[in-house]
Structure 1
Amino acid sequence: MTSIGFIGLGIMGSPMAAHLVDAGHQVTGYDVSAEAVQRLAASGGRGAARVAEAVAGADVVITMLPNHPHVEEVVLGDGGVLANADSGTLLIDMSTIRPETSIAVAEAAAERGIRVLDAPVSGGEAGAKQASLSIMVGGEEADFASARPLFEVVGRTIAHVGPHGAGQVVKAANQLLVGGIYGLVGEAIVLMEASGVDAKTGLDVLAGGLAANRILDLKRETMVAREFTPGFRIDLHHKDMGIALAAARAADVSLPLTGLVAQLVAAGRAMGYGSLDHSALLKVTEQLSGRPTP
């Protein structure tokens, strides 16, 4: 049994923390939502009233937060993780944030004898609930080996991809691919329907050929049906595309298609679709084409 402080019990963090409880670990969780803390307690975990309480005495601290300012506040701020964790604690940040923030957190933590991994995930709410997440991990190899049994509780594809910040770079690459594929699937639907072709039948054929991909497998039916219940919101994908573009600038590379995808996602947000699933990029293409959603 490992003593875990889990900070961030939202749409992803809540099921992840519950899986760790089910695996026999002692999980003490904190979230700004009292309801989320109560859910963890109801599933067999322990609730905390503040970050310091969740961190105190923990062998491992896991953070799952929306963006880099939240990570900076929770980890580096007064009353935060570094101020309350014991030397030797392993901090695993599973948020999707800027690589430079992950590096800064690791450097600050090292001064206090705290080990750090950046371990963003892919798979959305469904992957969190099914414990089938893909986890891309940056940091020291030895720390990755120590954390692997915990990763295996919540994920299926787990890889150490490099030093501190590398996990975030791989996640940025994941998000630019996901956004691009959603955009193209949306365009394929618009093209087929505007040409009098049944889009469901067309996508079924495409899913069996070279165009096959995970998004077609999981989302083609809900996209054709215009069901956009969020598993991962356009608002969050907008944030992630900003991370991808910033990473490209830092690496001094040109990613022209990524720039186009980022603008498509930004358009979706500007059109009022930010709270919808990122598959709602279909609606953006429809609106640009003058074809309102059926």
Structure 2
Amino acid sequence: MRTPTVGFLGAGQIGEPMVERLLAAGHRVRLYARRAQVRERLAAAQLVAEPVDLATCDVVVSCLYSDEQMLDVLPEVVAAMGARTVLVSHTTGRPGTLDRVAAYAPEGRAAIVDAAFSGTADAARAGRLTVYLGGEPEHVATVRPVVGAYADRVLTTGGRGSALCVKLLNNLLFAGIAQLTLGGVEAGKALGIEEGALLDALAVGSGGSTAGRYITARGGAEPFIAAVTPYLRKDLEACGDVAAEEGVDLSVLLSAARSGPMRLGRPSPSETELLNEDHP
């Protein structure tokens, strides 16, 4: 069977090791990257001048940061995609953004699979990401072998947009559990318990969680908060918007996720602008 040509845009912190894994797996990769240093590191891929140059690939993988970046970059790509090209979107954002992007395709019939993922750059480099796939069965079947180059757990969640909803709910729950764990760390300090000792105890106790393990892996509460706050704040804003659009009451979960040592209210316009400047 012919190896599909994979177009890739968004070779940032997570996207770059994804490309490395695709190349190592023998995929033919065409890459758009703005940064010279990224182009140099990924020179084994076929480099293209503009994102639209990826539209003729069999599968186009997009690993952009936000809805704003998607709406800035993807419409031109989707408008030029062939009838058999499938777009894979790894962005954690709003399902409605996928619909807005799809509308640029001839007759609005773009083949798009939302592929929200869970994991770190190290997990991507090791081929151990978890990826959720939402879309038409034939489109999901097309992209599964591609995604499998950097994910060892690929879960089908339903129709287009379902993977994003699963990821948003996951991050909503993660934020709430992280807030509780960080509150526990603060309480431990007040009781004279060293942070590392408490986290080690939680790791083998019933009060432990993935959030606790992530806090430990980041080197403690402060570096964890600094690393994850911008991303969780963005995702909680998306959760609130989706809940409002769909008429789903997430107020209790959102309140729990926003209450605690992390300040997870809506991002300021200046922060959103700064984060969106980082086009991978």
Tell me the TM-score range normalised by the shorter chain. 0.7 to 0.9
Change (3 A) 1:85 1:131: same
Deviation of the 1:226 alpha carbon: 4.3
Q: 2:40 aligns with which of 38, 41, 47?
A: 38
Change (3 A) 1:221 1:268: farther
Deviation of the 1:238 alpha carbon: 1.4
What is the match of residue 234 of structure 2? 239
What is the match of residue 51 of structure 2? 51
Kindly provide the CA deviation profile for residues 162-209 of structure 1, in whole angstroms up to 9, marking residues without a partner as x: 111111111111111221222122111110011112332222222223
Q: Which moved more, 1:15-24 or 1:118-127?
A: 118-127
Give the TM-score taking structure 1 as reference length. 0.81
Deviation of the 1:107 alpha carbon: 4.9
Does 1:171 pair with 2:170?
no
SS at match of 1:153: coil
Change (3 A) 1:132 1:110: farther
Deviation of the 1:8 alpha carbon: 0.8
Kindly provide the CA deviation profile for residues 103-139 of structure 1, in whole angstroms up to 9, marking residues without a partner as x: 3334544736541101111113232222211111111
Does 1:199 pair with 2:195?
yes
Identity of aligned residues (%): 27
Counterpart residue type for residue 233 of structure 2:
H
Q: Which moved more, 1:61-70 or 1:100-109?
A: 100-109
Deviation of the 1:259 alpha carbon: 3.2
What is the alpha-carbon root mean square deviation over aligned residues?
Answer: 2.6
Deviation of the 1:96 alpha carbon: 1.1
Change (3 A) 1:252 1:269: closer
SS at match of 2:215: helix
Partners of 1:262 and 1:195 lie apart in 2 by 24
1:93-242 counterparts in 2 under 5 A? 93-109=89-105, 111=107, 114-220=110-216, 222-224=218-220, 226-228=222-224, 233-242=228-237
**Which runs of 5 or more structure 1 residues have no equivalent in the other structure?**
275-294
Q: Which moved more, 1:246-255 or 1:180-189?
A: 246-255
Q: 2:31 aligns with which of 22, 29, 32?
A: 29
Deviation of the 1:87 alpha carbon: 1.8
Are the aligned partners of 1:37 and 1:48 in contact in 2 as well (CA < 8 Å)?
no
What is the match of residue 72 of structure 1? 71
Deviation of the 1:37 alpha carbon: 2.5
Q: Which moved more, 1:121-130 or 1:138-147?
A: 121-130
**Which runs of 5 or more structure 2 residues have no equivalent in the other structure?**
273-280
Deviation of the 1:98 alpha carbon: 0.6
1:73-92 counterparts in 2 under 5 A? 73-76=72-75, 80-92=76-88
Partners of 2:267 and 2:93 lie apart in 1 by 19
Are the aligned partners of 2:11 and 2:63 in contact in 1 as well (CA < 8 Å)?
yes
What is the match of residue 9 of structure 1? 11
SS at match of 1:6: strand
Partners of 1:184 and 1:84 lie apart in 2 by 47
Deviation of the 1:5 alpha carbon: 0.8
